[in-house]
Amino acid sequence: MGLKASLALWATDERGATAIEYGLILALIFVAIVGGVTVLGDNTGAAMQNAADQFPD
């Protein structure tokens, strides 16, 4: 296989682009999960503190 044929084959290969797309989708899902857990954690912490404040010392 000649150099010209090898370069043509490499230029049409889309496997790397697909991997990058999957990586971006995974990163967006990760950001959504972290954001959801952060909000849920803050709300849960506030609710637990409110419940704890109801008990006498």
How far CA 18 is from CA of 8, 30, 32, 43, in Å, comes to: 19, 18, 21, 38
Tens of pLDDT, residues 15-48:
777 888 999 999 999 999 999 999 898 889 889 9
DSSP states of 7-49: HHHHHH--HHHHHHHHHHHHHHHHHHHHHHHHHHHHHHHHHHH
Q: pTM to 2 decimals?
A: 0.56
Helix (H, G, I), strand (E, B) or coil at 4: helix
Q: Tell me the residue length of the chain.
A: 57
